[in-house]
Chains A and B, each alone.
Chain A
Amino acid sequence: MPIEESVNGFFVFFNPSFGVKAFVILFVIFYIIFALIIYRQIQLMAKALPAGVAPFLRFAAILQIGIALAFLFIVIGVF
């Protein structure tokens, strides 16, 4: 029994769907870090070189962070 049951239990717990969920959550966390770095870089570069579309780039970077955060909560909820 116990070995078979525990092996089955292992595969039920680590089913492909769970694997995909873990993968997506991990990558979304990396994505959020990436988006934060991009935002900070835009801030610094726009300060060194104020140019026409810099405010739009900053807005896009903030939007990216917001969407990534919202997406993280959706992934945790839906999967």
Chain B
Amino acid sequence: MEATFKKNPRGIVFEGQEAGEEIILFLRPHVVTLVPFFMITVFLIFAPVIFGLAARFFGGELAFLSGGQKIILNIFWYLVVFAYAFYRFIFWYFNVYILSNERVVDFDFRGLLHKEVAYAKLNQIQDVSPKMIGFFSTFFHFGNVHIQTAAERPEFEFHHVARPDEVAHAILENVRKEEGEPPGVIA
């Protein structure tokens, strides 16, 4: 499983990365956020068995379908379940947040036909606030990091990332470093 919190990752580059620009943090939503979808998938896998038993119990059966047709319907069902699980996984996998020594990058895969990439230079960041709300968030130590910027997109939110306080600290630290650099220098 790909990590959800990587410091100074090696071998990862992203589209539009400048020469000398280094990735400091590479983040994905916490793995715990996949648990509800995993449970739904497990339920969907067993649903035909449950449905079959319930139908037999109540005396109703799909008598108008032949054995082959029932098998086809089962295969179709499992194709749909696979599609659901696969879609949820890539939805999670391609939601990536990057902190580099120059900017923050937000790769958003919001839906089947909705892909968004947003950038904000570190010297445009005005405020960073980590948020952990709820039992699971506190227990597994993940949450949102809200970033206010003076960039074209005024607000960024890193959703359900691990160790949000550490992420906020790293962003602020790099903002301070960036403010100390002369304009145009990538370091």
Contacts and interface: CB of A to CB of B under 8 A. Distances in A.
Given A37-B112, A41-B90, A64-B83, A48 B117 contact: yes
Contact of A24 (B15, B73, B107): B73
Contacts of A41: 90, 94, 109, 112, 115
A56 B72 CA distance: 27
A79 B65 CA distance: 9
Nearest to A79: B69
Given A15-B64, A48-B117, A78-B68, A71 B76 contact: yes
Interface in A1-26: 15-17, 20, 24
Contacts of A16: 64-65
Given A49-B15, A49-B94, A17 B76 contact: no
Given A38-B112, A45-B107, A49-B107, A17 B69 contact: yes
Contacts, number: 81
A17 B94 CA distance: 41
A60 B73 CA distance: 22
B125 to A, nearest CB: 22
Contacts of A53: 2, 93
B166 to A, nearest CB: 22
Nearest to A15: B64
Contacts of B75: 71
Scoring B64, B82, B94, B109 by chain A CB atoms within 10 A of each residue's CB, the highest score goes to B94
A20 B80 contact: no
23 contacts: A15-B64, A16-B65, A17-B69, A24-B73, A31-B83, A37-B113, A38-B83, A38-B90, A41-B109, A41-B112, A44-B115, A45-B90, A45-B94, A45-B115, A47-B15, A49-B96, A51-B12, A51-B93, A53-B93, A57-B93, A60-B86, A71-B76, A78-B68
